[in-house]
Amino acid sequence: MSKGSSNGDKSTGLVYHHDFLKHDTGAYHPERAARLTAIIERLESSGLSERLVRISPEPAALEQIEYVHERSYIESVREVCERGGGMLDPDTPVSAASYEVALLAAGGVIKAVEEVLNGNLKSVFAAVRPPGHHAERSRGMGFCIFNNVAIAAEHLKRRGLRRILIVDWDVHHGNGTQNAFYEDASVLYFSTHQYPYYPGTGWLDEVGSGDGRGFTVNVPLPAGCGDPDYIYVFKEVLAPIAAEFRPEFVLISAGFDPHASDPLAGMRLSSRTFGVLTEVIKSAVGGGGRIVVSLEGGYSLNALAESVQYVLEALRDEFEGGGVPEAEARAAVRNRVAEIKRIQREYWGL
């Protein structure tokens, strides 16, 4: 169990299954099985995995996928995979095993949420693939098949929760998640993302509609943002809104593609900053915060593995030299934050 660990506290879980490697995207696709292998190897070589409770996922039930997706779309994914594979969109290949693996990924995040809800664990990192935040009600896109985090949020609603915070720091906007809860005041969706960039959504005037007005908070950022810019945004926008919302549960759509080494996007985060962002979220929601972190993007293997380690250390209060540094954001980011505050002030005490 916690052999050789100075800290025997096993309050944080890790969802992983070898079957996640069976979703085969081909030889040259960035969203590949080696991503998860790199994470697991890092957690083992650093000794951190000994201090984590391993959680073995089970496939989500069809009714659970239907919380977010249309039956006809789910069936079409199954059929494409039964024929041996194909493309859901130009970016999203599936192989024979992908349907089952996508069920397992969604089921993994549901199980993570259950472990925390039941009080067995305080937090869980779900090292799942395929990712989910681009997946729409009736179509897969952007490497995503089923929207793991949105399904988990719907699961939480069915367990009686009324204030669920989703923080999406993937470099791409989580269009699928935003749309799933756009008119829903029980799920607050906060996203930082490079803009303009794929998938094209997520401008700051997208704030939700109907009962959901003010429960979507978008922070579109210019390319080239670094550690101080992100820390500033999280402290200035997310922290006060999260503190006021008082979430009963936090889901993090954790994409590690804002990393400086990432081959797909143009942000400049260091690995440590993902730990810092985790700390900002934890302190905004208070000590009893229940947190499940679900892997989205992140395509530089070393950067991904290192960043995940920092997030897990932050979840476990083991983050070396922890604490949130003062952050001097550049003018373009300060101006953007001021604009967002003007818009969101209608809903929040900013």
The set of catalytic residues is: 134
Q: Is the peptide bond before 199 cis (omega within 30 degrees of 0)?
A: yes
Minimum CB distance to Zn ion smaller for 253 or for 270:
253
How many residues lie near Zn ion (CB under 5 A)?
5
At position 220, the amino acid (one-letter code) is P
Q: To the nearest whole angstrom, how small is the minimum distance from the Cβ of residue 128 to Zn ion?
A: 14
Among 297, 299, 303, 329, binds Zn ion (CB under 5 A): 297
Ramachandran category for residue 322: left, alpha or beta (phi over 0 → left; psi -120 to 50 → alpha): beta
Region of 15-23, 229-237, 251-259, 272-280 interacting with Zn ion (CB under 5 A): 251-259
**170 vs 248, which CB is nearer to Zn ion?**
170
Does residue 91 touch Zn ion according to CB under 5 A? no
Residue 143 contacts residue 297 (beta carbons within 8 Å): yes
Whose Cβ is closer to Zn ion: residue 262's or residue 313's? Answer: 262
91, 136, 154, 170: which one contacts Zn ion (CB under 5 A)? 170
φ and ψ at residue 253, rounded to 5 degrees: -85, 95
Residue 325 C-beta: closest distance to Zn ion, Å: 25
Question: In the numeric block, which tokens belong to residue 338?
Answer: 């001021």
- By CB under 5 A, is residue 193 in contact with Zn ion? no
110 vs 149: CA distance, rounded Å: 8
Three-class SS string for 244-302? HHCCCEEEEEECCCCECCCCCCCCEECHHHHHHHHHHHHHHHCCCCCEEEEECCCCCHH
Collapsed DSSP state (helix, strand, coil) of residue 43: helix
Near Zn ion by CB under 5 A: residue from 172, 173, 268, 272: 172
Q: What is each CA distance from 150 to 1, 64, 219, in whole angstroms?
A: 32, 11, 19
Residue placing its CB nearer to Zn ion in the complex, 17 or 193: 193
Q: What x-and-dash track marks residues 114-153 binding Zn ion by CB under 5 A?
A: ----------------------------------------
CB of 254 to Zn ion, least distance (A): 10
Residue with Cβ nearer Zn ion (108 or 255): 255
Identify the residue whose tokens are 């009736």.
138
- Nearest approach, Cβ of residue 95 and Zn ion (Å): 21
- Single out the residue of 212, 214, 255, 258 in contact with Zn ion (rule: CB under 5 A): 255
From the list 28-36, 227-235, 249-257, 332-340, the region that binds Zn ion by CB under 5 A is: 249-257
Shortest spacing between CB 143 and Zn ion, in angstroms: 8
The residue range among 92-100, 168-176, 211-219, 332-340 that interacts with Zn ion, by the rule CB under 5 A, is 168-176
Considering only the stretches 22-30, 96-104, 166-174, 320-328, report the one whose residues sit in contact with Zn ion under the rule CB under 5 A.
166-174
Nearer to Zn ion by Cβ, of 176 and 214: the residue is: 176
Residues 299-318 that bind Zn ion (CB under 5 A): none
Tokens of 123: 């937090």
CB 181 within 8 A of CB 153: yes
Report the residue number, 117 or 265, with the smaller CB distance to Zn ion.
265
CB 296 to Zn ion: min, Å: 6
Rg of the chain taking only CA atoms, in angstroms:
18
Q: Verify cis geometry, omega within 30 degrees of 0, for the bond prior to 196.
A: yes
Give the contacts of 213 (CB within 8 A, at least 6 positions apart).
207, 347
What b-and-e string marks burial along 278-288, b requiring 16 or more CB atoms within 10 Å of the CB?
A: bbbbbbbbeee
- Compute the Cα dihedral for 304, 234, 322, 2 and give only its sign: negative
Taking CB positions, which residue lies at the least distance from Zn ion? 297
**What part of residues 256-285 is at the interface with Zn ion (CB under 5 A)?**
257
Q: Which two tokens stand for residue 263?
A: 């081959």
| Nearest distance from C-beta of residue 228 to Zn ion, angstroms | 22
Burial of 318 (0-12, 13-18, 19+ CB in 10 A): middle
Q: Which residues sit at the interface with Zn ion, rule CB under 5 A?
A: 170, 172, 255, 257, 297
